[in-house]
Amino acid sequence: MTRSLLTPLVASLPATVPFIGPEEMERRRGRPYAARLGANESIFGPSPRAVAAMQAAAAETWKYGDSTSHDLRAALAAHLGTVPAHVLVGEGIDGLLGLLVRLTVGPGDTVVTSAGAYPTFNYHVTGFGGEIATVPYRDDREDPQALIDKAREVGAKLVYLANPDNPMGTWHDAATVQAMIEAVPEGCLLVLDEAYVEFAPEGAATAIVPEDPRVIRFRTFSKAYGLAGARVGYAVAEASLIAAFDRIRNHFGMARISQAGALAALRDQAHLAWVRAEVAAARDRIAAIGRDNGLSAMPSATNFVTLDCGADGAFARRVMEQLDARDVFIRKPFVAPQDRCIRISAGPAAELDSLAAALPGALAAAGRG
């Protein structure tokens, strides 16, 4: 008799992953995309200073990265107005979410999130045996009060909110998020995902109070800073929680090149401002392309725009598939009623030209009446 090497928990998990990468999709389809507008990367690229720093660091890749990311943590702390004890650097927000869940969630523990919110968080929770309780979006935005009410009802260990939100691009103002922090039940931690915060309008981000034990916030260099391939994220939280990550994290998980690139990117705020301006212009162009084709755009505080296809999820999926057939890679929300939409990343003019050329045919082939 062959004995399975998998634990019972892992053996019970579905053989799925949250996202299939665009490279794998290209291999499956047998040709590259003309427009890569689905992964919310910054197609505008990283700071030239970051590229130069990574090139310089390449000669020293025989060394492990600094196990504490000392210089980057210090720079981030200064940038945020705190001290390094409140800052943790890790392998992107996804990696840090996995560590947080491993720290706090055991088999049978419950976490609360929104139905259709960022699925990688759920992936980690189920991977460690946790139970997921969900609440619906309200008016295409996550519902902070419903999340808190559900967390109180089920005795949740964690409650997750993305502000701004992925996949809808919507957001809440700072006062609403602060009220949510104030209402977090005893024994629960708010997981505040701020991956897109650099694109948010003034007044969307709450003031950082790193000593507050009720919230841990996650930010990244993958979006506005254009370093998705370098895998650099960071967390800001109460010092004892940050220190607890040392018990389980991969201490040499950060590449030296990635640390150098992130540090240089953080220091080039002029490039960040340029990216913001380019993204704002691209969002306007995507919304205009949508309007030209009878689709409405949701206001966005991210580097993507969600277009309402005006029908159901099945129709929106056909639109996505028809765009794929026309070499335009996009994605869409998974859960109704938000699945009636498609989601398109901001990109340069040439990529948006491809979208504009492909969308009318895609809508027609999808069966729009």
67 and 37, same structural domain? no
The two tokens of residue 204 are 């969307």
313 and 229, same structural domain? no
Q: Specify the number of domains making up the chain.
A: 2
Look-up: residue for tokens 């009636």?
Answer: 340
Q: Is residue 230 part of a domain?
A: yes
| Dihedral pair phi/psi, residue 272, rounded to 5° | -60, -40
Q: Are strands 215-220 and 233-236 parallel, antiparallel or unpaired?
A: antiparallel
215 and 104, same structural domain? yes
Using the 3D structure, point to which of 237, 268, 299 is the last residue of a domain.
Answer: 268
**Maximum pairwise Cα distance, the chain:** 64
Strand 87-90: give its sheet, edge to edge.
87-90, 233-236, 215-220, 189-193, 158-162, 110-114, 131-135
**Which CATH number characterizes residue 118's domain?**
3.40.640.10
**Model-level pTM greater than 0.85?**
yes
320 and 240, same structural domain? no
134 and 34, same structural domain? no
Look-up: residue for tokens 């990529």?
Answer: 351
Say how far apart CA 335 and CA 311 lie, in whole Å.
14
Using the 3D structure, point to which of 220, 241, 268 is the last residue of a domain.
Answer: 268
194 and 336, same structural domain? no
Q: Please report the DSSP string for 191-237 in residue order.
A: EEE-TTGGGSPTT-SPPP-TT-TTEEEEEESSSTT--GGG--EEEE-
Q: Is residue 2 part of a domain?
A: no
Q: Is residue 3 part of a domain?
A: no
Say how far apart CA 369 and CA 367 lie, in whole Å.
6
pLDDT of residue 369: 63
262 and 335, same structural domain? no
Residue 41, amino acid: E
**Which CATH number characterizes residue 15's domain?**
3.90.1150.10
In sequence order, what are the residues at sequence separation of 6 or more whose Cβ sits closer than 8 angstroms to the Cβ of residue 111? 101, 105, 121, 125, 130, 131, 132, 133, 156, 157, 158, 159, 160
Q: Is residue 243 part of a domain?
A: yes
295 and 246, same structural domain? no
Dihedral sign for Cα 345, 348, 351, 352, please: positive
208 and 198, same structural domain? yes
101 and 180, same structural domain? yes
SS3 content of the chain, % helix, strand, coil (to 5): 45, 15, 40
114 and 247, same structural domain? yes
pLDDT of residue 1: 41
Residue numbers of the domain that contains 279: 8-45+270-365
pLDDT of residue 154: 98
Closest to 332 (Cα-Cα) out of 342, 322, 324: 342
Look-up: residue for tokens 């938000």?
Answer: 338
278 and 311, same structural domain? yes
User: How would you write the pLDDT of the chain (369 residues) with one tens digit per residue?
Assistant: 467 899 999 999 988 888 899 999 999 999 999 999 999 999 999 999 999 999 999 999 999 999 999 999 999 999 999 999 999 999 999 999 999 999 999 999 999 999 999 999 999 999 999 999 999 999 999 999 999 999 999 999 999 999 999 999 999 999 999 999 999 999 999 999 999 999 999 999 999 999 999 999 999 999 999 999 999 999 999 999 999 999 999 999 999 999 999 999 999 999 999 999 999 999 999 999 999 999 999 999 999 999 999 999 999 999 999 999 999 999 999 999 999 999 999 999 999 999 999 999 999 999 986
